[in-house]
């Protein structure tokens, strides 16, 4: 009888006890379950329908939509007939090549600053994350309206004056002239002024990355920093030997997030062009072809970024 109990006992333990790795995997699946349900029942059907539209001609009548298969004609028209689309995609992509590194550098720098011990640190963290909140949802729609941001982005940037004819408090043309005189190089001045113009976009686009970097820095054990100080390491050596290698996997995560976020922003010229085409029901097929071509561009860009950056990533075992 004791032999039978001993034989059954290991089976019971194996059946009822989950390993830590299995528990963590189960928690992960539960956490992403809403996304999986949304993909299965909402996004995937829409994606399939969009692809069907892109290879079809859409006829609209009193009964609704009717699709007629035409192959790759819409893709040919998007690439070789609609000259504005390909040009807009190329120009917007080249513009992002400058913005993406600036956003990551700014987020990484501010995460290191906010990780230090100083009075009001919590308030400072909230202040730097507020732009992420106000730049989402319905509040973001105000950016497309006539507002102070639009005035700043127009030709009359920062030209502030009064109706009584008083001199302007600040004139953007004067700033441009000052930068030109100091730098003595038109191309370099254009880069500096472009960075100033994009400051608002950089701040509003770096909040999530800043939070990810900050969480990574906080996960590093204080004992590692204390040991480095005892060994006489400088702050510069601590940064490159401890901080940077420990959070290097998060650099790749933030880079991929930033690329996708910037490519799909509503104010992106290519996205605006696609949305404009979608306003006309007769152009749904062409707009769908625009979307799939743009998706391919984004995926290729992400793939290139991963191939270039993954060699710099150090994974801790």
Higher pLDDT, 10 or 89: 89
What average pLDDT score do residues 52-68 get?
Answer: 80
Instruction: Please give the pLDDT value at position 141.
Output: 54
DSSP codes, 137-185? GGGGGGGGSSSHHHHHHSTTTT-B--TT-PPPSB-HHHHHHHHHHHH--
3-state secondary structure of 59: strand
Find the mean pLDDT for residues 23-39. 87
Rounded Cα–Cα distance for residues 223 and 64 (Å): 67
Q: Is residue 286 pLDDT above 50, yes or no? A: yes
What does 205-244 look like in DSSP terms, one character per residue?
A: HSHHHHHHHHHHHHTS-HHHHHHHHHTT--HHHHIIIIIH
Task: Identify the band that residue 109 occupies on the pLDDT scale cut at 50, 70 and 90.
Answer: confident
The predicted pLDDT at position 232 comes to 85
Average pLDDT score, the chain = 77
Least confident of 22-31, 146-155, 181-190, 201-210: 146-155
What is residue 296's predicted lDDT score, i.e. its pLDDT?
93
- Is the pLDDT score of 170 beyond 70? no
* Total residue count of the chain as it appears in this document: 317
176-180, 239-243, 298-302: the lowest-pLDDT one: 176-180
Asked if residue 174 lies in contact with residue 96, where contact means CB atoms within 8 angstroms, the answer is: no
- The model's confidence at residue 269, banded by pLDDT at 50, 70 and 90, is confident
pTM of the shown model: 0.71
pLDDT tens digits, 245-255: 888 888 888 99
pLDDT, tens digit, for every residue of 288-311?
A: 899 999 999 999 999 998 888 887
pLDDT for 126 equals 78
Residue 144 has pLDDT above 60, yes or no: no
> What is the DSSP code (8-state) at residue 317?
-
pLDDT of residue 237: 85
Cβ–Cβ contacts within 10 Å for residue 119, how many? 7
pLDDT value at 212 more than 70: yes
| Confidence tier at 195 by pLDDT (50, 70, 90) | low
C-beta of residue 104 within 8 angstroms of C-beta of residue 258: yes
Q: Are 259 and 302 in contact (CB under 8 A)?
A: yes
């Amino acid at each position: 009888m004791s032999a039978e109990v001993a034989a059954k006992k290991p089976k019971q333990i194996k059946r009822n006890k989950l390993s830590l790795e299995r528990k963590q995997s189960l928690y992960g699946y539960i956490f992403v379950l809403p996304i999986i349900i949304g993909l299965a029942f909402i996004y995937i059907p829409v994606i399939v329908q969009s692809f069907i539209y892109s290879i079809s001609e859409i006829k609209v009548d009193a009964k609704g939509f009717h699709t007629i298969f035409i192959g790759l004609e819409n893709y040919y028209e998007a690439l070789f007939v609609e000259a504005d689309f390909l040009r807009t995609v190329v120009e917007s992509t080249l513009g992002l090549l400058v913005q993406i590194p600036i956003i990551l550098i700014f987020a990484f720098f501010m995460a290191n600053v906010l990780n230090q011990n100083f009075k009001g640190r919590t308030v400072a963290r909230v202040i730097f994350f507020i732009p992420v909140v106000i730049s989402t949802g319905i509040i973001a729609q105000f950016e497309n309206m006539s507002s102070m941001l639009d005035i700043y982005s127009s030709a009359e940037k920062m030209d502030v004056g009064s109706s009584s004819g008083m001199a302007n408090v600040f004139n953007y043309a004067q700033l441009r002239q000052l930068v030109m005189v100091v730098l003595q190089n038109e191309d370099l001045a254009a880069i500096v002024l472009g960075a100033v113009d994009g400051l608002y976009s950089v701040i509003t686009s770096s909040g999530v990355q800043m939070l990810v970097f900050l969480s990574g820095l906080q996960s590093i054990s204080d004992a590692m920093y204390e040991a480095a100080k005892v060994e006489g390491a400088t702050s510069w050596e601590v940064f490159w030997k401890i901080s940077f290698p420990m959070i290097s996997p998060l650099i790749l995560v933030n880079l991929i997030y930033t690329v996708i976020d910037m490519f799909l922003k509503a104010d992106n010229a290519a996205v605006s062009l696609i949305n404009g085409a979608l306003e006309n029901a007769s152009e749904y097929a062409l707009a769908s072809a625009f979307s799939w071509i743009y998706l391919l561009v984004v995926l290729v860009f992400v793939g290139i970024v991963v191939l270039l950056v993954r060699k710099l990533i150090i994974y801790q075992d």
